[in-house]
Amino acid sequence: MVDDLDVAEVAAWADGLAEVHARIASRFARSEPRERVLAYVRGLLAPVERKNSWTLAERAGGEPGWDAAAARGGGLGRRRGSRRCA
């Protein structure tokens, strides 16, 4: 139960996450993807009600990669900066 957590347990979890990140970080050549994967895993472990690309991106401090207005309009959302085919 969350109420039963103490500081030592949280510190141990943080150390464990850092260890996992260290093990997979070499798979990413650039620092940005390495940082993003850590934020992604933190988001997966976070106590949020719904976990999808939108909530994970927002939790990581970024923006979802889809055009929200187009997605709400019932059409298919496009990646930002993409062009429609003629």
Helical ranges in 1-86 per DSSP H = 7-24, 31-45, 53-59, 68-72
**Total number of domains in the chain:** 1
What is this structure's pTM?
0.58
The verdict on residue 77 lying in a domain is: no
Return the DSSP state at 66.
Answer: B
Residues spanned by the domain of 31: 2-61
The verdict on residue 20 lying in a domain is: yes
Average pLDDT over residues 8-23: 88
The verdict on residue 16 lying in a domain is: yes
Q: How far is CA 58 from CA 45, 54, 62, 78, in A?
A: 14, 6, 5, 18
Torsions phi, psi for 28 (to 5 deg) = -115, 120
pLDDT in tens, 36-83: 888 888 888 888 888 888 888 888 877 666 666 666 666 555 555 555
pLDDT in the model for residue 60: 80
Nearest to 36 by CA among 62, 55, 16: 62
